Structure 1
Amino acid sequence: MAESKKVPGDTEAQMSDSVSKKGGLITLFFIAGTLSGVMLSGFGWLANLIVYLVEEFNVPSISATQISNVVHGCMNLIPILGAIISDSYLGTFSVVAISSFISSLGMIMLTLTAKLSSLKPPPCETGSSLCQTPSKVQLAILYVSIAMASAGLGGSRYTLATMGANQLDKPKDKETFFNWFFFTIFASCIISSTAIVYVEDSISWELGYGICFAANFVALAIFLAGHQFYRRDKPRGSPFTGLLRVVVAAVWKRKLVLSSRSEDYYHEHDGTNKVMPATPKRSFRFLNRAALKTEGDIYSDGSIARPWKLCTLQQVEDLKTLIRLFPIWSSGIFLTTPIAIQSSITVIQALSMDRHLGSNFKIPAASIVVVVLISSSIFVALFDRFLFPTWQKLIGRPLTPLQRIGVGHVINVLSMAISALVESKRLETVHAHHLEAQHGAIVPMLVWWLFPQLVVVGIGDAFHFPGQVALYYQEFPASLRTTATAMVSLVVGIAFYVSTALVDLIRNVTGWLPENINSGRLDNLYWILVTAGALNFIYFLVCAKLYKYQNIEKEVDATSSFDI
């Protein structure tokens, strides 16, 4: 018989060291201002990075997309590091403050690269293939400024989400906060990817980057102004240490014979009233030895005497949960990789197309990708208000997180197929006007042709990104709830690095991606992504079909015949 312990839905509210008279709704005004400023600043320079590298530093277009992918990857890996440092050593307040300060310094340096002619090479004439490359010193200063700006953005973004949720006590309030959090990110990205990018392209890079610095500085000032109101959690030590102890303890006790008796296992829990079985589950049985009690493992008061040789039954089951989730999580890497490639390649395509809107206005190339953000924002709201409630009324149950992710896979493959067809059309226009050999030539084809694929990507994002966040938050161990939401960021970060390696591989073994994309075959790259995406979807279906929801309280009809 399983030990059944009832749990309030949110474990963080039960942490005694989190509860104080501070916190509450008043703190959200400061956090909202901080998040808005950080995102306006970060995406104000990040959205236009490829154009800046190509036009101001004479970096070849494909190389610029590779650099952009590396920067995006770094920015999306840093939140995991920030979460570990926050949980283990400094707390959320210090991590956000330090990260925002670092990004401010990075923006100062980046603004100087735009202002001072000595920090960048002379401009390259249109149509010329003999452009002066930047010096090592110029590149070093540029890369250091980009690294600091991206590190600050990555370190503060998801840490603000955790800090904001920690200011509230009721689970419903926290759910509302997360909705507001992502809406603020989307809205800030839309503004920065349009207004600030327009300033950079049409007025000056110096002014655009200056606005980014000002936004970052104001964000830091707002954040520090609210310090007396924040509820601050004390660092509790890295939850990954407990998981590592399970592996070490299981190895130490590898020769012990497993028992079927409940009293032979250590049942002390970590303060979260989670439903736990009396004996370990049979899956991954080798790890069960970590909770097997032996002489000298426990003090007389019942506490653990040798933490690296004995773990709680809950810690063992928590590690098993992460192992079960890993295949599904890994499928998200190649779900996001095509999106990473498309986001950078689309900017290069836009640079070679007619971007005029009327006779006087020219759409900045980097602002094209804002279509994805607008599409995602609109369809997230439509799905939440109309599609998902309608589905539940018709079917009798809500869409599970795995079902939402699966739909996202299909739509993502469809988007890559549309991208391939549009690029084929663009190349036909290039050949019809004999523009293959003209470096930097503008193809007489409106940039609006790129919009359908971006809208479809946004629809897919509205399915699979919230689905992944919901799955990880629902299924992750309580001790890792802070890290759960950052797992999506980790997927995105890895995907950008994979996309860089994939593009490099294709560039080295084929002639599809030359410096002048008008003489290349970008459509073939997209067809490869369609094929790989379809295979990845099959892999996801297998993983999802085999996965069984672990969180009993939030499981949605996991015994149904089609439970993904």
Structure 2
Amino acid sequence: MGTERSSSSDEKKLIMEPLLSDNPNPKGGLRTMPFIIANEAFERVASIGLHSNMIMYLTREYNLETTAATIILFIWSAVTNLMPVLGAFISDSYAGRYRMVGFGSIATLLGMVLLWLTTIIPDAKPPLCDPASSICEPPTASQLLFLYSSLGFMSVGAGGIRSSSLAFGADQLNNREDNLQNAGILQRYFSWYYVAVSVSSMFAVTCIVYIQDKLGWKVGLGVPAALMLLSVLSFFLASSFYVKLKAKTSLLTGLAQVIVASYKNRHMKSPSQATDDNIYHIRKKSMLLLPSEKLSWLNKACIVRDPQQDLTSDGRATNPWSLCTVDQVEELKALIKVIPLWSTGIIIGVTLDQHSFPIQVSTMDRKITSNFEIPPGSFGIFMIITVILWIALYDRIIIPLASKLSGKSTYLSLKKRLGIGLFCSSASMAAWAIVETFRREIAIKEGFSDDPRAVINMSSMWLLPHLVLGGLAMAFNTIGQSQFYYTELPRSMASISSTLLGIGSSTASLVSSFIINVVDKVTRSGGKESWVSANINKGHYDYYYWLLAGLSMANFIYFLVCSKAYGPCEDEGKEKDNTITEEH
């Protein structure tokens, strides 16, 4: 009796753990982390370092108008952000994560080498403008094709690396017997992975851009290519140590099949009303024997009405668009289930987007010493420093101390981290609104109402509370989102889960543009000065930031509702199971 109960408990536990399950494979582990993280870090340094200063290269070396160059970079950025979605589909459905990261690394390296060759080959770009006559020869079609090819390879490469690198690293750690400890290890991995990306970004926008400005384009574009070569070598160097999971077949097609099959079978009796003769179509070697009761209307997609007609001799569906497996149904349910919580990350993305336009800080006193002042575009470094310091403090001091005091592995649950990040985001915008109110009043008192570029007598260090809170929002929510998607979605959807954060960021950019356009049109009606006027001393950016703070707080309340409706996460379930086990 006890053996049966134990067996049933173990089976249930396996079903509930699609990602954090035991893995007896001796490969993988922490020894592979330096190679995987280095691969991503070098790719980010190379790509961000190129993108940061590319507008100067296109206008000065290719003689392109600023508008044309901007359009090219916008399209390049848009394609680069969308490619990880395609990369995730190919990775999860056909190629596998190892092959996808390897292919992406090689494609990115090829793109950077081609771009570097434009500085070496004289005919690869038009001659420089003649200063005397101000005549600028435009690039030819073949020259633009060569340029576009380099940008295209880099976009394809980014799709391969960014869609699979994070999940591939997590695959190496899924071999622990203690599932609660495994969840803690994953949390550390996601945190330090994000630190590596943040440090890489910080290095790219400072050192790489400096090299391009001071040493010229041959060296400036050659360094990113050399770093990308190191990225490729670091990844393939540890190839024999990696855990290489096989891909499933056509994941997105399978999700579409569930929708079509459930619609076709919509008139069928629901599973709760079905007779005992109904059989669910089960994938071979699957631990899922029955579909869950949530979104039960989708369960009609996996009911076998007539085994002789619906199934082949080897147990496969005769028509996969009319009959799906229980696993397919549960994968779609899992994706639908996370969408409400995923949507709560859009507004925090909107608030973080505001740091791309350091308008106010350029009018404040930015001097650190009498001979040095911080560039306006570099103030985001305080957010990155906050992220790094908090992760180090949390990982090395707070968690070990809390675990020692409680006598067991202790850490903040995923939903708590997401919620804290959203609250910090709202507080960050409120702090910015308060500082902007005082900055505007000082500018008017000093007689700079008509001079938006004038530097006022107010230290830019007043923005530190806003920047620190923004950094904490990133540390809690952004990193938490990555682990949340990876943990909550089935293993077969791991690469797609790693792209959800990027999709949210892209959506946030569109929403941010929509909000500022609406604010501009509404507040300038009747001949009034717009809140987001080009003259920041006449506008009311403080009102705009208060609006974003209010939207962020409303988003936090929306998150609480979604969180309660979602139920316990995987990490909360494991902690509860561990507690029950210890009590007995």
Same fold (TM over 0.5): yes
Shift of 1:481: 2.8
1:545–1:225: structure 2 CA closer, same or farther, 3 Å change rule?
closer
Question: Structure 2: which amino acid aligns with 1:344?
Answer: S
2 CA distance for matches of 1:373 and 1:367?
11
Residue 87 of structure 1 pairs with residue 98 of structure 2: no
Find out whether 1:264 has 2:278 as its counterpart. yes
Q: Is the 8 A contact 1:73 1:496 kept in 2?
A: no
Q: Which residue is equivalent to 1:562? A: none
2: CA distance between counterparts of 1:144 and 1:506? 39
Corresponding position: 1:466 with 2:479:
yes
**2:23 and 2:175 in contact (8 A); partners too:** no
Deviations 1:108-135 (A, max 9, x none): 6777999999699999xxxxxxxx9998
Pick one of 297, 311, 323 that aligns with 1:286: 297
Q: Which residue of 2 aligns with 1:378?
A: 389
Q: CA deviation at 1:411?
A: 0.9
Match of 1:160 in 2: 165
By how many angstroms is 1:250 displaced? 0.9
Inter-partner Cα distance in structure 2 for 1:554 and 1:149: 41
The aligned residue for residue 411 of structure 1 is 424
Instruction: Please name the residue that 1:479 is paired with.
Output: 492
Per the alignment, residue 545 of structure 2 pairs with 526
1:252 Cα deviation (Å)?
1.4
Q: Which residue of 2 aligns with 1:242?
A: 254
Q: Which residue of 2 aligns with 1:211?
A: 223
Q: Tell me if the contact between 2:254 and 2:328 (Cα under 8 Å) persists in the aligned partners.
A: yes
Residue 507 of structure 1: how far off its partner (Å): 3.8
CA contact (8 A) 2:50 2:224 kept: yes
Q: Larger Rg: 1 or 2?
A: 2
Matches of 2:345 and 2:498 in 1, distance apart?
14
Quick one: percent identity of the two aligned structures?
Answer: 32
* Counterpart Cα distance in 2 of 1:108 and 1:82: 22
Secondary structure in structure 2 of the residue aligned to 1:485: helix
Alpha-carbon contact 2:191-2:479 (below 8 Å) kept? no
After superposition, where does 1:67-466 map in structure 2 within 5 Å?
Answer: 75-104=80-109, 107=112, 149=154, 152-167=157-172, 170-171=175-176, 172=182, 175=186, 177-199=189-211, 208-224=220-236, 232-260=244-272, 261=275, 264-266=278-280, 268-269=282-283, 271=285, 273=287, 278=290, 280-281=292-293, 283-295=294-306, 296-340=309-353, 342-346=354-358, 348-387=359-398, 399-438=412-451, 440-466=453-479
Instruction: Letter of the 1:299 partner, please give it.
Output: T
Give the Å deviation of 1:263: 5.3
Matches within 5 A, 1:529-540: 529-540=548-559
| Pick aligned residue for 2:46 from 14, 18, 41 | 41
Verify the 8 A CA contact 1:47 1:367 in the aligned structure 2: no
In 2: Cα distance, 1:480 partner to 1:332 partner: 20
Give a deviation string over 1:525-550, Cα, whole Å, max 9, x none. Answer: 21221121122122112111222236
CA distance in 1, matches of 2:546, 2:212: 34
**Kept after mapping to 2: 8 A contact 1:272/1:478:** no
Q: How far off is 1:373 after superposition? A: 1.3
Secondary structure of 1:356's aligned partner = coil
Q: Is the 8 A contact 2:387 2:475 kept in 1?
A: yes
Structure 2 counterparts to residues 501-520 of structure 1, below 5 A:
501-509=514-522, 510=524, 511-520=530-539
CA contact (8 A) 2:163 2:495 kept: no
What does the per-residue CA deviation read over 1:116-169, in whole Å, with 9 as the maximum and x for residues that have no partner? Answer: 99699999xxxxxxxx99989999899887676455435413422233344566
Amino acid aligned to 2:323: L
Task: State whether residues 189 and 373 of structure 1, in contact with CA within 8 Å, keep that contact through their aligned partners in structure 2.
Answer: no
Q: Secondary structure of the residue that 1:406 maps to in structure 2?
A: helix
- TM-fit CA distance, 1:464: 1.5
Q: For the residues of structure 2 that align with 1:205 and 1:349, how far apart are their CA atoms?
A: 32
The 2-side partners of 1:45 and 1:200 are apart by 9
Does the Cα contact within 8 Å between 1:91 and 1:233 map onto a contact in 2? yes
What is the TM-score with the length of structure 1 in the denominator?
0.78
Partner AA of 1:246 in structure 2: V
- CA shift in 2, pair 1:257/1:169, >3 Å: closer
**Is contact 2:190-2:482 (8 Å) kept?**
no
CA deviation string 1:256-311 (max 9, x = no partner): 1224456513152464535x6x4641x32321211211121123454433322222
Q: Secondary structure at the match of 1:554?
A: helix
